[in-house]
Amino acid sequence: MNAIPDWLPPLLCAIIGTAIVLVLTKRARAAEGKNYQAVHARNTVELSCSNCQKQMVVTAAELQPLQSVEIGLSVRDNPSLAGRKLAEYTCPYCDAIHCFTVDKRTPEWVGANLYSPQTKGTRCLNCSKPLRTAPWGEGAYNKRLNEAPLQPDYGLQCSRCNAVVCVQCTIDATRNRTKDGSFICPRCFRSPVDRTYHPV
């Protein structure tokens, strides 16, 4: 019977040891990857922008807390948000403003452009009806709308939140609530709404 060479046992031990180390390292890296993905998933929301349909990856660190007026407008549109912590994220592709609740481990998407002022467009931000542009030049009746021949579907612009709204919604929101006859914005409920809206 042939004797086992002296060099064979150490070689087999080295091969087996290397294989064990490789298997354990691979398992450790796989576990680390799963843990990273779990943490990443908890603090990140991946979704399509409801405005431009492009994919967004939103981390918790990128969310900015809402100011009191923005919170009020969001709660007005969605009363179930009352008392919850809210934050916003701006789409890097189209500048749509997305609102999230941030009082749980993972941010939850609420909606887009719920409270953002409308700086361009042809619809009332409050009732969504089409707006007509006043037939006079831009600025002609600014700060003296009581002298202007206003029509219900003309566009007006709030001096506080810049929302563009129709005359009818502004009249409905005001309802003789101001002593000087100035208009109250139906979006932020502040006054004055004192400019006619002329799209650029």
Q: Give residue 28's pLDDT.
A: 61
Which position has the token pair 């000087």? 180
Which position has the token pair 């042809």? 122
Of the listed ranges 10-19, 34-43, 95-104, the least confidently predicted one is 34-43
Amino acid at 92: P
- CA–CA distance, 111 with 123 (Å, rounded to integer): 19
Q: Is the pLDDT of residue 154 over 80?
A: yes
**Quick one: 102 exposed, middle or buried, by C-beta within 10 A (0-12, 13-18, 19+)?**
middle
Q: How many CB atoms lie within 10 A of CB 122?
A: 14
Q: Are 131 and 123 within 8 A, CB to CB?
A: yes
pLDDT in tens, 104-121: 888 888 887 776 554 446
Q: Give residue 31's pLDDT.
A: 52
Beta strands in the chain (DSSP E): 44-48, 55-59, 64-65, 86-90, 97-101, 108-112, 155-158, 164-166, 193-196
Q: Is the pLDDT of residue 12 over 50?
A: yes
Residues 6+ apart with CB under 8 A from 96: 49, 50, 51, 52, 90, 112, 113
Mean predicted confidence (pLDDT) in 78-88: 87
pLDDT in tens, 19-61: 887 777 777 665 544 433 333 455 788 888 876 778 899 988 8
